[in-house]
Structure 1
Amino acid sequence: MNVDTKSRMIAMATILFQQKGYKSVGLNEILKACNVTKGALYHHFPNGKEELLITCLYGLNESITTDIEAIFKRHPATKEAAQSIIDTLIHSFESEGTITGYTFSSIVSEMATVSEPIRNACSALYENIQQIYYVNLVSEGFSNEAASAAALLLTASIEGAMMLCLTQKSSDPLKTIGKLLPNILKV
């Protein structure tokens, strides 16, 4: 059992969980997709599928946070950075027909009331995203209170628009949020 096996399991399971949700992905499906035995899964994740999901969520947290921070380095103004994030999501949806790598709302809606560790992992990711927006908005002259509210609004709007894109099979919700951004982000 090596780190590559564990990394492959996390990568494949993350995709499956994002595409189908936690409850719809069976253990056998994960084992088959990863080409591992049940023993290998439990060797790396002694608490099974839930522990694997939590590991996937923390991995998503790290990659999404890194991506958003990189976008802010290229676009220091929150308005332009948020627009870049939305444009990236639109491109992903229009080219792939889905938004993997960024959305985990299906997991939140399924599991947040069932498992406190999963709720905590999801909460940490939303908090990280909001904190990035918040810090940048404060540096742009927003009061702490206004920055906090705008960060929440941005996070909720973009996350909600992603879910609407998936359910409507259209990138229009993200495009609408992108058009409204300049009005939302006025000091």
Structure 2
Amino acid sequence: MGRKGEETRGRLLGATQDLIESGGYFGAGVNQVLEASGAPRGSLYFHFPGGKDQLVGESVRRAGHEIGRMVRELAETVPDTAGLVAGVLALLGDRLEASGWRKGCPVATVALEMAAVSDPLQEVCSEVYGSWEETLRDRLAADGHPEPADTAATLLALVEGALLLAKAHRSREPLDRVARRVAVLLQGARR
């Protein structure tokens, strides 16, 4: 695929990501994606022969990998897991606030709307969440926490819940509260 094709594909994925984060799966209709991306209809089906579900799945995967990359980079700069979670909450909070409280987690809306009805989309959501959980688990294990797998799942659930509450309240307060509580919980787990 040439440069122009890659650019068109990227615009389609970016437009889809923006639309699903702000309006969910059903807010990202094919016509809305085409309008937002400026791509011709034929390009969508050329790049995504599986149609909308393939487009949404690849968009979620791409956004998930981008967030995952940021988390891994952050993990290299903070002293412990509590610092990592606080940093993740700050990064995602900045993203959420900058978007006018529209863009929380790039996976959550699709997971909530489609995981029960679309096996391919459920698998993509599970893959992305699994990769984030793995990063947390690895950091917890490196920090010597006794139950890194269970704790990683708990931390991911706390981050996702905090993002949902922050979006609902249009406030960073839930993110700040969770960051403080995670520090206490992780300190207690090491005793």
What TM-score bracket applies, with the shorter chain setting the length?
over 0.9
TM-score normalised by structure 2 residue count: 0.91
Deviation at 1:169, TM superposition (A): 1.6
Match of 2:141 in 1: 138
Q: CA RMSD in A?
A: 1.5
Q: SS at 1:185's partner residue?
A: helix
Match of 1:25 in 2: 28
TM-score normalised by structure 1 residue count: 0.93
Matches within 5 A, 1:15-54: 15-54=18-57
Deviation at 1:98, TM superposition (A): 2.2
Which amino acid is 2:165 matched to? L
Deviation at 1:94, TM superposition (A): 3.3
Give 5+ residue unaligned stretches, structure 1.
Answer: none
The C-alpha deviation readout for 1:12-62, integer Å capped at 9, x for no partner, is 111111111011222111111111222111011111111100111110221
Give 5+ residue unaligned stretches, structure 2.
Answer: none
Q: Distance in 1 between matches of 2:104 and 2:163?
A: 12
Distance 1:5 1:101, change over 3 A: farther
Which amino acid is 2:23 matched to? K
Task: Work out which of the residue numbers 11, 14, 17 in structure 2 matches 1:14.
Answer: 17
Q: SS at 1:23's partner residue?
A: helix
Q: Distance in 2 between matches of 1:103 and 1:58?
A: 9
Q: Distance in 2 between matches of 1:120 and 1:54?
A: 9
Task: Work out which of the residue numbers 112, 116, 121 in structure 2 matches 1:118.
Answer: 121
**Residue 156 of structure 1 pairs with residue 157 of structure 2:** yes
Distance 1:125 1:117, change over 3 A: same
Please say if residues 104 and 167 of structure 2, whose CA atoms lie closer than 8 Å, have aligned partners that are also in contact.
no
Deviation at 1:101, TM superposition (A): 6.9
The C-alpha deviation readout for 1:55-112, integer Å capped at 9, x for no partner, is 1111022111101000001114111111111122233333432263743211110000
Q: Distance in 2 between matches of 1:180 and 1:44?
A: 44
Deviation at 1:155, TM superposition (A): 0.2
**Residue 174 of structure 1 pairs with residue 175 of structure 2:** yes
Which amino acid is 2:177 matched to? T
Q: SS at 2:85's partner residue?
A: helix
Q: Distance in 2 between matches of 1:89 and 1:3?
A: 27
The C-alpha deviation readout for 1:158-180, integer Å capped at 9, x for no partner, is 01111111122222211110110
Percent identical among aligned pairs is 25
Aligned length: 185
Match of 2:88 in 1: 85
Q: SS at 1:88's partner residue?
A: helix
Distance 1:94 1:18, change over 3 A: closer
